C-alpha cells in the first residue's frame, strides 16, 4: 500500500498515480513530518528499514518530477538531505534540490548550475549522467546550444559505457541531441535520430512513461518540421491522450501547431476545372514531379480537375522521400525505399489510432512473434543465458512488470535444471542484475549482497 501513518505503524509499498496525489497532500501538512519523525526514531537502528526508506523516497521524487509536482519534490529532496539515511542519499537529495531550484528553466539558473556541476563529480554513478543532462538543459535555456550538445553527448556516453547501463538517461540524451538539431534547422537529421531511437524509447515506456511520451512529442515536432504532417498529427494524438498530458502543456501546443500547419497546407492547394483541350495539350500534368497531387485530399464533386500545388509549397522541402504526403506508395517506390524509411512507415502504421487490430495481429504473426499450434504443443523452454535476456527478465521483475505466467516459467525452469552449477550461475547473475536495478547504487555490490542476501529458516523437521 502507499504510506500509512498512524500511532502504531508505518508501511511502505508501491505507489499508483492516485496514491501519489494523496501522499502529496499529506506531505504538504506538518502532521506528516511529525508522525514520520517519531516513527523514524523508533526504527533508527534498523539499517534495512533506512535503506528501504531512502529507496522509496527516491522513487517518490522520480514520480514528483515526472508529474512536475515541484512542491512535493522539494519536500522529498529536503527529507533525503536532512534525515539520518545511509550515505549517498543526501547527495541524491541535493540533485533533486537543484532540479527544484532550476524549476524547468524558470528558476535560479546560476545556483542550479553550480549545484549540478558538483553533482557530476560527487553523485552516485547513475546520477552523474542525470546531473550532466540537467546541466545541459541549463545551457539550452541560456541559448548556448553547442555547449549543451556537448554535454548531452557526454551524458549519453556515461549512460551507455559507465558499466551501469542507464536507458532513461540514454533516451533523454539522444532525444535532446535530436531536438537541438531541429532547433538549428536540421529537421531531417533530427527525424533520423529519433526514428532510430524508437525501439529503446518504446522499451522503457512502462517504467518511465513520461520519458516515452516526451520522446513521442519531440518526434511529432520534427515530423512537422519536415512536412510529414499526417504522421505528426497521429503521434501527437497519442501523446496528448496520455495521463501525463495535463502536466506538459507543451505537448498540447505541439498538437495545436500541427493543426495550424495542416490548415495552412490545405489553403495552398486549389482545384481548377479541367480545360476542354486534349490531355496532351494541358499546360500542367498531374504526372509531372513538380505538380504531384495531395492524394489524401478528395477532388470536389463535378467535372474532373487537376490539382495544382503552389510552387513555393512544392519546393518548401528538398526532395521528399517517397512522397510522405501520399497515403499509399507504389511497389517500385517500396523497392527503392531505404530500410530506415521502411521502419519509419511501419512505425507510423503501428502508432495510428485507426489501425485495425486484425492488421496488428497479422503484423505480429508475420514477424514470427506468435507461436504456431505446433510450437504451442511443444514443451516450453526459456532462454536465460543469451546476453541481455536474463538482464531484461530481472529488470521487468524488480519493477513489477513481469506477469505471473512468466514468473512461474522462470522459477520452474530453475527448479528443474539438473545441472546444479548452471543453475547457481544463472541465479548469481540474477542477483547481480538486481543490484544494477537498485535505486541508488551507493554501495559496492559486495556490501549490497552482504546486506540483502538471506538463507531459508532451518528445516523444522530437522532433516
| pLDDT at position 259 | 92
Residue 406 is part of which domain span?
379-439
127: in domain: no
CB of 164 closer than 8 Å to CB of 436: yes
Residue 126 pLDDT level (bands cut at 50, 70, 90): confident
* Whole-angstrom Cα Rg for the chain: 27
Query: What is the 8-class DSSP label of residue 44?
Result: T
195: in domain: no
Residues 429, 120: Cα–Cα separation, whole Å:
29
Q: Does residue 60 register a pLDDT over 80?
A: yes
CB atoms inside a 10 Å sphere around CB 451: 12
Least confident of 3-17, 69-83, 146-160, 396-410: 3-17
Residue 125 pLDDT level (bands cut at 50, 70, 90): confident
Region 276-296: what's the mean pLDDT?
37
163: in domain: no
Residue 217 pLDDT level (bands cut at 50, 70, 90): very high
Mean pLDDT of the chain: 76
| pLDDT at position 446 | 79
Q: What is the dihedral of CA 127, 133, 135, 138, to 10 degrees?
A: -140
Residues 77, 86: Cα–Cα separation, whole Å:
15
Residue 181 pLDDT level (bands cut at 50, 70, 90): very high
The residue whose grid cell reads 532510430 is: 196
Least confident of 30-39, 173-182, 282-291: 282-291
Residues 271, 91: Cα–Cα separation, whole Å:
65
Q: Does residue 52 register a pLDDT over 90?
A: no
363: in domain: no
| pLDDT at position 47 | 67
As a whole-number percent, the residues of the chain with pLDDT over 70 amount to 73
Q: Which of 267, 258, 172, 269 is nearest to 220 (CA)?
A: 258
Query: What does residue 455 show for φ and ψ, rounded to 5 degrees?
Result: -125, 155
Residues 363, 346: Cα–Cα separation, whole Å:
10
| pLDDT at position 303 | 33
Residues 226, 182: Cα–Cα separation, whole Å:
10
| pLDDT at position 389 | 75
| pLDDT at position 374 | 81
Q: Does residue 163 register a pLDDT over 60?
A: no
| pLDDT at position 390 | 80
Which one is predicted more confidently, 352 or 383?
383
Q: Which of 44, 122, 125 is nearest to 90 (CA)?
A: 122
Entry pTM:
0.56
The residue whose grid cell reads 508505518 is: 10
| pLDDT at position 401 | 66
Residue 322 pLDDT level (bands cut at 50, 70, 90): very low
The helix/strand count (H/E) of the chain reads as 22, 4
| pLDDT at position 191 | 94
3-state SS class at 454: coil
| pLDDT at position 10 | 34
As a whole-number percent, the residues of the chain with pLDDT over 90 amount to 26
Region 24-37: what's the mean pLDDT?
54
CB atoms inside a 10 Å sphere around CB 52: 14
250: in domain: no
| pLDDT at position 28 | 53
| pLDDT at position 3 | 36
Least confident of 55-64, 237-246, 304-313: 304-313
Residues 63, 54: Cα–Cα separation, whole Å:
14
55: in domain: yes
| pLDDT at position 444 | 75
CB atoms inside a 10 Å sphere around CB 380: 11
Least confident of 17-21, 272-276, 311-315: 311-315
Query: What does residue 11 show for φ and ψ, rounded to 5 degrees?
Result: -110, 140
Residues 414, 404: Cα–Cα separation, whole Å:
16
Region 356-367: what's the mean pLDDT?
84
| pLDDT at position 370 | 83
Which one is predicted more confidently, 158 or 347?
158
Distances (CA, A) of 122 to 84, 118, 128, 318: 19, 6, 8, 47
CA atoms within 13 A on the CB side of 93: 21
| pLDDT at position 269 | 52
422: in domain: yes
Region 72-96: what's the mean pLDDT?
88
Residues 86, 44: Cα–Cα separation, whole Å:
11
| Domain count within the chain | 2
Which three three-digit cell numbers place residue 113? Answer: 548550475
Q: Does residue 320 register a pLDDT over 60?
A: no
414: in domain: yes
Among 75, 104, 133, give the residue marking a domain's end: 104
CB atoms inside a 10 Å sphere around CB 445: 14
How does pLDDT run across 247-268, given as a tens digit for each residue?
Answer: 999 999 999 999 998 888 776 5
Among 69, 104, 139, give the residue marking a domain's end: 104
Among 49, 80, 104, give the residue marking a domain's end: 104
How does pLDDT run across 445-458, given as a tens digit for each residue?
Answer: 777 788 888 888 88
Cβ-proximal residues to 183 (8 Å cutoff; 6+ apart), any chain: 145
Query: What does residue 306 show for φ and ψ, rounded to 5 degrees?
Result: -95, 145
Amino acid at each position: 500500500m502507499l504510506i500509512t501513518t498512524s500511532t502504531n505503524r508505518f508501511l511502505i509499498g508501491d505507489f499508483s498515480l492516485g496514491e501519489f496525489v494523496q501522499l502529496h497532500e499529506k506531505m504538504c501538512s506538518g502532521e506528516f513530518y511529525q508522525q514520520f519523525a517519531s516513527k523514524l526514531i523508533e526504527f533508527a537502528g534498523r539499517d534495512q528499514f533506512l535503506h528501504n526508506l531512502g529507496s522509496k523516497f527516491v522513487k517518490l521524487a522520480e514520480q514528483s518530477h515526472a508529474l512536475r509536482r515541484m512542491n512535493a519534490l522539494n519536500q522529498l529532496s529536503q527529507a533525503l538531505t536532512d534525515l539520518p539515511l545511509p550515505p549517498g542519499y543526501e547527495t541524491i537529495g541535493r540533485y533533486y534540490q537543484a532540479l527544484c531550484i532550476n524549476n524547468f528553466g524558470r528558476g535560479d539558473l546560476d545556483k542550479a548550475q553550480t549545484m549540478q556541476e558538483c553533482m557530476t563529480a560527487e553523485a552516485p554513478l547513475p546520477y552523474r549522467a542525470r546531473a550532466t543532462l540537467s546541466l545541459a538543459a541549463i545551457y539550452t535555456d541560456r541559448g548556448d546550444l553547442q555547449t549543451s550538445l556537448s554535454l548531452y553527448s557526454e551524458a549519453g556516453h556515461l549512460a551507455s559505457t559507465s558499466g551501469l547501463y542507464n536507458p532513461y538517461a540514454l533516451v533523454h540524451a539522444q532525444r535532446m541531441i535530436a531536438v537541438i538539431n531541429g532547433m538549428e534547422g536540421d529537421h531531417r537529421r533530427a527525424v533520423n535520430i529519433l526514428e532510430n531511437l524508437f525501439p529503446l524509447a518504446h522499451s522503457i515506456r512502462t517504467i518511465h512513461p513520461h520519458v516515452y511520451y516526451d520522446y513521442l512529442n519531440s518526434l511529432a515536432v520534427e515530423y512537422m518540421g519536415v512536412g510529414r504532417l499526417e504522421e505528426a498529427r497521429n503521434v501527437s494524438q497519442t501523446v496528448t491522450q496520455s495521463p501525463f498530458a495535463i502536466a506538459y502543456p507543451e505537448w498540447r501546443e505541439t498538437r495545436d501547431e500541427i493543426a495550424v500547419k495542416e490548415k495552412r497546407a490545405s489553403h495552398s492547394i486549389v482545384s481548377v476545372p479541367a480545360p476542354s483541350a486534349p490531355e496532351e495539350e494541358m499546360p500542367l500534368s498531374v504526372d509531372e514531379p513538380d505538380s504531384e497531387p495531395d492524394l489524401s485530399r478528395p477532388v470536389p464533386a463535378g467535372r474532373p480537375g487537376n490539382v495544382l500545388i503552389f510552387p513555393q509549397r512544392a519546393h518548401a522541402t528538398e526532395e521528399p522521400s517517397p512522397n510522405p504526403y501520399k497515403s499509399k506508395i507504389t511497389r517500385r517506390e517500396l523497392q527503392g525505399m531505404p530500410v530506415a524509411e521502411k521502419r519509419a512507415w511501419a512505425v507510423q502504421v503501428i502508432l495510428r489510432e485507426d489501425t485495425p487490430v486484425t492488421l496488428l495481429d497479422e503484423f505480429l504473426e508475420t514477424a514470427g512473434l506468435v507461436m504456431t499450434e505446433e510450437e504451442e504443443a511443444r514443451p516450453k523452454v526459456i532462454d536465460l543465458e543469451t546476453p541481455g535476456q536474463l538482464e531484461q527478465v530481472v529488470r521487468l521483475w524488480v519493477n513489477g512488470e513481469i506477469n505471473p505466467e512468466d514468473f512461474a516459467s522462470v522459477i520452474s525452469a530453475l527448479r528443474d535444471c539438473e545441472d546444479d552449477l548452471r543453475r547457481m550461475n544463472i541465479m548469481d547473475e540474477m542477483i547481480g542484475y538486481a543490484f544494477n536495478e537498485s535505486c541508488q547504487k551507493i554501495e559496492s555490490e559486495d556490501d549490497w549482497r552482504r546486506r540483502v542476501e538471506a538463507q531459508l529458516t532451518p528445516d523444522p523437521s530437522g532433516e
